[in-house]
Each structure stands twice: as C-alpha cells, then as structure tokens.
Amino acid sequence: MTTAASPFPQDFLWGVASAGHQVEGNNVNSDIWFLEHLPGTMFSEPSLDAVDHYHRYREDIALIAGLGFTTYRFSLEWARIEPEEGFFSQAELNHYRRVLEACHEHGLTPVVTFHHFSSPLWLLAKGGWEVPRTAEFFARYCDRVMAHMGELIGVACTLNEPNLPFLLLEFGVPGGSKESRANLPMFASAAERLNLEPRQVAPFHFVATAESYDVRLAAHHAGRDAIKAHRPDLPVGWTLANTDIQFVEGGEERADRVRRDVNERFLNASRGDDFVGIQTYGRTIFAADGLAPAPAGAKLNQSGEEIYPQALEVTIREAHRIAGIPVIVTENGLATEDDTQRVEYLRAAVDCVASCLADGIDVRGYIAWTAFDNFEWIFGYGSKFGLIAVNRDTQERTPKESAHWLGSRAREHAAAVNASGGTTAQLGKSPQPA
C-alpha cells in the first residue's frame, strides 16, 4: 500500500547512531584508550567518562524512542567483551544483552556494529590490523557474541568505515603508511610500551596499507560467516565512509584514483552482502595540487568544511550502481553549534533519500550521526554532531530541535503505514512502499 506523500518503504529504519568508545566512557582495555594517554598523542583530549552511556543506556534508549525514532545503531566494544586474549567476559556479554533487550522493550530495531574503530589492546600488541590472524580473532569474537545474544540483533554491521584510512591518507592525516609511523611521536611511544617497532603499530582507523586492506576484507568475510552461522536470516554488511568525489581543472586524475581506491573498491567488495551502509557527510573536491578550498560564499561547518548535504544522493546512487545491493544510510550528519543548520541539513539529506527511493533504489533506512554530542576521536569533544546535547558536568541530556524534527518524520511515517494498514517487514525482504 502507498500514500501519495511518502516514497519510504513500510519497514524503513529511522534512527540515530552512536559508537561504544565515543559514548560509554572508561573503555580502559582498548587500543584507543591506550593511544589517547600516550606522550605525543594525536588525540586532542582523552575520552574519560565520555557521556556515561555505559550506565545510562536505559534512559538514553527510552529518550531515543520517545522522540519517535524506530532504530538505534550502536556498537559493541570488543575490548570489554574480550579484554584479554581468549578471555570472554560473561558480565560484559550480559551487559550488551541488556542493551539489546532495552531496545526491544522500547520498540527500537537494534542495528549493531561489531567493530567501530576501537580494538582490544592485546590485538594492537600482536600487530593489529596488518596481521592476518586478526581476521581469525575477529571471527571468534563475532561467534561468541552471536551465541550469547544473536537472536536479539536486528541488523549486523561487521566493520565501521574500513575505507576511511585510505581517504584520510589523501587528506594528509599521518600514520597511514608504515614509513610515516616511524616519525610520529604517538607511534613511537606506543611501540616502546608494546615492544614493537613504530611501523608495526597498526590501529584500525589509522593504517592505510595493502596489508591492512587484505586483513579488513578477510575479517569482514570471516565475521560475516560467523554471524550467519548462527542467524542465516540476519542482514549483514559493513559500513563505508563514502564522500562525493569531485574535481576542478587539473584534479581529474587524482579524483578518479581516489574514487576507485576509496569508494569503488570497497563497494565492489560488498556485492555478496545483504546490504551496504553508506556514511556520507559532504563532498571532496580535488585540484591539481591537492584538495580544493570550499567554494566562495559556501556555508561552513565547525571544522571549516563546506556544508553539502546533496553529497548523500550521489553516494547512494553510486552504491546502488556498483554494489547492486540494498543501502542503509548508517551515518549522516553535521558538526555545528547552530542547530538550525542541522535541521536544514537533515531536511535536505532526507529529501536525497526520498529522491533515490522514487527512482526505485532500495534504501532501507536513514540513521543520523549522532545521537549525542560525544567524543569525536582525535578531535575530542569540540565537534558537535549530536541531535541530543549533553552537559558532561552533570550528564544531563537535552534534545535539540533537530532531534524533534527528525523524530517527527519517523512518527509521520509510522502514522502513514498504520493508516494504510501496512505491517513491518523484515529488512532482508523486499520493501513495500508506505
């Protein structure tokens, strides 16, 4: 059944996202916590308590559902579940099972990311994401998670943004190559403490080598197989950081190379999956001598980057054309202190999704980044992506207008489905328009 106003399928996922290390706090057995506290660290500040989502997940999930959302994407922390190699914490497995149960209690579909950048410190000490055995370790972890709580997961994402380091390399972020690590204080400090050479220190979201690509792809496949062994019906994919790659005169060759290496290579590798998660924030314009500046007069986000929500439509269409599988927008958002800008951005992004759906592209959900103003990796707490503000002195949550606006879209969609007599279908099945 359809309504005249909505191209969105009946089972469309409307949600917000978070990542464990960014919101939970005190993830002390992870490689990221370790790197944050090293001399010469690239992190502007440590994560510490974050927004204490580890203890406040019940009230946070209730708040997300109360705003009208139907989906919550969050990540499991491998470093909590397996803090030492081969030791799986029953207490932490039970914790994440309770998080999943809370989602179901509030009518939220849990979209679960098994690895969102942070890994156990013991894995980093073994060579991290450039060592082939990492795929085996990751599959073992996925197997243990699925055995404990797999029946409660709605959608499974193996790895978050495995292509991001290859994009960051183009932006000049150091650490991607083995050679650059030898000259970086953070990697030197890490190597000294781990009894490695700096070039052997390979955390997931810093390294961009041929070896790391092979390990990530092998881990994705092994993790997917471990998940499917427990739940053949569970939709499984990975999520990709795909930007709209453009160029000005002289930048054609570099743009084409980056498009192939960062976007197309990983989309081709997604073809056997149930879906691909697309995570787009804007466009990247290449010039002859590197990145082109934002166009004159363009509105800018907190980081001085162009606000360009139209990029999402380009990356969805690219994913549809190359991967040929369903798409879920698993992240999309704006870093800004001006929530009016965020509402405008979200409105334009949702229109992009609607345009793709109207052309018959199978888009299964729109999940905004992020649920809360949280820890943004090397940038610390300065970047405000959240639809919900957090006072980190009191941990008080305050939904912004953007949270109410996007939540109202979810409510309107649910009302349209109910009015048409529709029912919710499983993600793995072909969606029916509402």
Q: Is the pLDDT of residue 198 over 90?
A: yes
Distance CA 341, CA 384 (A): 12
pTM as predicted: 0.96
**pLDDT tier at 9, thresholds 50, 70, 90:** very high
Distance CA 121, CA 78 (A): 10
**pLDDT tier at 419, thresholds 50, 70, 90:** confident
Q: Give the mean pLDDT of the chain.
A: 95
How much of the chain is in helix, strand and coil states, percent to nearest 5?
45, 15, 40
Instruction: Label residues 87-101 b or e (16+ Cβ within 10 Å = b).
Output: ebeeebbebbeebbe
Distance CA 164, CA 126 (A): 22
Of residues 93 and 170, more confidently modeled: 93
Average pLDDT value for residue range 393-418 = 96
Q: Is the pLDDT of residue 423 over 90?
A: no
The helix or strand, by DSSP H or E, that contains position 220, with its residue range, turns out to be helix 210-230
Instruction: Outline where DSSP puts E strands in 217-374.
Output: 236-241, 244-247, 276-279, 283-287, 290-291, 327-331, 363-369
The pLDDT of residue 174: 82
Number of H helices, E strands in the chain: 16, 13
Omega of the bond leading into 336 within 30 degrees of 0 (cis): no
Nearest CA-CA partner of 33 in 185, 190, 167:
190
Average pLDDT value for residue range 316-337 = 98
- 236 forms beta bridges with 156
168: left (phi over 0), alpha (psi -120 to 50) or beta: alpha
Q: Is the pLDDT of residue 375 over 60?
A: yes
CA 329 to chain centre: 10
Q: Is the pLDDT of residue 433 over 60?
A: no
**pLDDT tier at 5, thresholds 50, 70, 90:** low
Segment 29-49, tens digit of pLDDT: 999 999 999 999 999 999 999
DSSP 136-156: HHHHHHHHHHHHHHGGG-SEE
The share of the chain scoring above pLDDT 70, in percent, equals 96
Segment 148-159, tens digit of pLDDT: 999 999 999 999
Q: Are strands 236-241 and 109-115 parallel, antiparallel or unpaired?
A: unpaired
The pLDDT of residue 6: 77
Residues with a known catalytic role:
161
Distance CA 196, CA 187 (A): 10
The pLDDT of residue 421: 75
Segment 266-291, tens digit of pLDDT: 999 999 999 999 999 999 999 999 99
Could you confirm whether domain 13-419 is CATH 3.90.1150.10?
Answer: no
